[in-house]
Structure 1
């Protein structure tokens, strides 16, 4: 990517800081997540802050894991710098299952931000979108599942079965996307157990966000025109503003999915992280 700069030196976490995965409100001026998701303990944020994700550098890659002594809790690795409009390119290698993602226009000290999903787990989506603390919108073109060998071990990806999916693809999820891929193109391009290339273009405020995986366009959304319960573009982008942090996520294991969301000992990996401001 010409005229780009690296956000990762390949051997240290210089330029990044770790943050716990704690919740705030569902949307600007909305109810607290912990008041809505009553299955979560009331002291969730206090406990999560004590058990943040573990971030290391291994073999030239940033690696994120749940804490070994207290699995089930997550966290973020957040860029010190903020960015407005840009193209971000990186390589990613998540284990199965590992529910992760790339946040853009993220707030520094709270959980609000726009997330590009890398939900490499059953009924997950790679390259779709989620609104952390900005209405919880979920815009995805398709869901994935594991292809199993004769012994029941995951050996690749297939499209999720709508009859058994944990997260159905609804008309509203696809309708918010101005461009959307079919699963077949993504599945043909995805390299199981290997490095995959992710490109994110974020332009304007409210931004139009577009994603590509291994040069296959996956999804695009105009965040000024999202139609989703509780999403108000004026209040959202007044909060997030024209600039924000980039962050990688290690998800927690919520009561609904448990270790199907993040497997025991699983990791996500990120390398060759480059950005070009536009």
Structure 2
């Protein structure tokens, strides 16, 4: 089983979810970070459920989350009780020198078969601060130690974006690491727990400790390192946000871990965006900028309108609106808003030969989850809720969905047989479609085709517009060669936790 298919199984994305798909309304606070540690208890934390459970001792002392080795020098992690996809994590850390700790991201249980990543805090002679590690070094960092104060409090910031993760680290405000996992590298999780570490040591280490305080997080869009223009930059970044501006280094530079300041995406729930020169140079295209030029209606033709950068899909008629151009491998981002009792969908790689594009290509569902079953007196299959890969994969357990009348955001990666999607920054699925039990099999579906939006007429929709779409950007990608995914360096005697 490939890493992507293994992730779908491990996360329970293929299992039926009787009540988890009809989510409560998602309340996004644009200017506030989420506090992960209250300074008084271990509420919201657990020592089980990640890749490196152990027997370290975790307590609350003087308002700090404090870790020590356990019996016989046993190490271990403490994790957040909920998982995250992309985020900006901020904390302060103090260690009794010498000590080995770290910040772990996207941690899943060992039986998932998937790894997360560690930003090392190895404050020992020969250790490395802000190296990137995953059962072996992915990026060495011999420079950041000089910025980490011995036996004092240090500010640590870790930022994770992308389905294939980009990990950036700041120590005491100084950017020290910018590592991007090569696209298509198998065996890594796209979501998981955040963990803090006590590394196993000899019995002498029992007299030393690591402490954490002021731990907070803000969730980010998956494509947060893409620069778009025209929106308030405060979305998602909260009080810690800085306009970091400027183009990032090339892919080869990022893979090596060279430090660059990210070009942050700029989005708020009320804005229509435009592509910046940086985004255009990276190959992004605005699918709505030219109005309905570049689109073709299949089925009912009249009624579509693009005004003020917003596409309106009528509540009557049937069919779909599709791009004139075909796409093979790409990243796609769009915002959508639906009316009550609306039913729509996002088609990917739809075949030109006709037939239902949900099966000639595929469809990510868009539906009024909040009212559909009750008002239709029906029971939906798990994949029929918003965010499901239709007739194949149910949306993931972290799904957050805003109700009708509010804007939501889809971010999608389609590359070869891999398909990944996020809703409002939270992973829905990341699968190898060739490993799915779907009819027809994905191997028989189009490898190239249109991007489309479903028009599903329904008398139950109140008003003339069923769905609206804005900020619809696509970035065609070159196919991945078999040797494009990088291999990790070695760097551990046991190949496990560092």
TM interval, shorter chain, is 0.5 to 0.7
Q: Would you say 1:275 and 2:217 are equivalent positions?
A: yes
Please state how far the C-alpha of 1:20 moved relative to its aligned partner. 9.4
Task: Select 2:193's aligned residue among 239, 242, 245.
Answer: 245
Give the gaps of 5 or more residues in structure 1.
24-47, 143-181, 226-232
Partner of 1:141: 141
Distance of aligned partners of 1:138 and 1:204 in 2 relative to their CA distance in 1, 3 Å threshold: closer
**SS of residue paired to 1:8:** coil
Partner of 2:116: 113
Distance of aligned partners of 1:59 and 1:224 in 2 relative to their CA distance in 1, 3 Å threshold: same
Equivalent pair of 1:21/1:74 in contact (CA under 8 Å): no
Equivalent pair of 2:74/2:200 in contact (CA under 8 Å): yes
Partner of 2:57: 54
Equivalent pair of 2:129/2:141 in contact (CA under 8 Å): no
Q: Would you say 1:191 and 2:149 are equivalent positions?
A: yes
Partner of 1:210: 168
Structure-to-structure mapping, 1:1-278, within 5 angstroms: 2-19=31-48, 52-67=55-70, 70-108=71-109, 112-132=115-135, 136-142=136-142, 182=143, 187=146, 189-224=147-182, 233-237=184-188, 240=189, 242-253=190-201, 258=202, 263-278=205-220
Equivalent pair of 2:51/2:115 in contact (CA under 8 Å): no
Aligned length: 189
* Larger relative contact order, structure 1 or 2 (CA cutoff 8 Å, min sep 6): 1
Equivalent pair of 1:102/1:116 in contact (CA under 8 Å): yes
TM-score (norm 1): 0.62
Deviations 1:182-211 (A, max 9, x none): 45xx52x43322110000110011111110
**SS of residue paired to 2:185:** helix
Q: Distance in 1 between matches of 2:109 and 2:66?
A: 21
**SS of residue paired to 1:71:** helix
Larger radius of gyration: 2
Deviations 1:164-185 (A, max 9, x none): xxxxxxxxxxxxxxxxxx45xx
Q: Distance in 2 between matches of 1:89 and 1:266?
A: 23
Please state how far the C-alpha of 1:21 moved relative to its aligned partner. 9.4
Distance of aligned partners of 1:86 and 1:14 in 2 relative to their CA distance in 1, 3 Å threshold: same
Equivalent pair of 1:6/1:275 in contact (CA under 8 Å): yes
Distance of aligned partners of 1:20 and 1:265 in 2 relative to their CA distance in 1, 3 Å threshold: farther
Distance of aligned partners of 1:214 and 1:234 in 2 relative to their CA distance in 1, 3 Å threshold: same
Equivalent pair of 2:100/2:198 in contact (CA under 8 Å): yes
Give the gaps of 5 or more residues in structure 2.
1-29, 221-498
**SS of residue paired to 2:131:** strand
Distance of aligned partners of 1:20 and 1:205 in 2 relative to their CA distance in 1, 3 Å threshold: closer
Q: Distance in 2 between matches of 1:21 and 1:248?
A: 11
TM-score (norm 2): 0.36
Equivalent pair of 1:19/1:75 in contact (CA under 8 Å): no
Structural RMSD (CA): 2.5
**SS of residue paired to 2:160:** strand
Equivalent pair of 1:21/1:251 in contact (CA under 8 Å): no
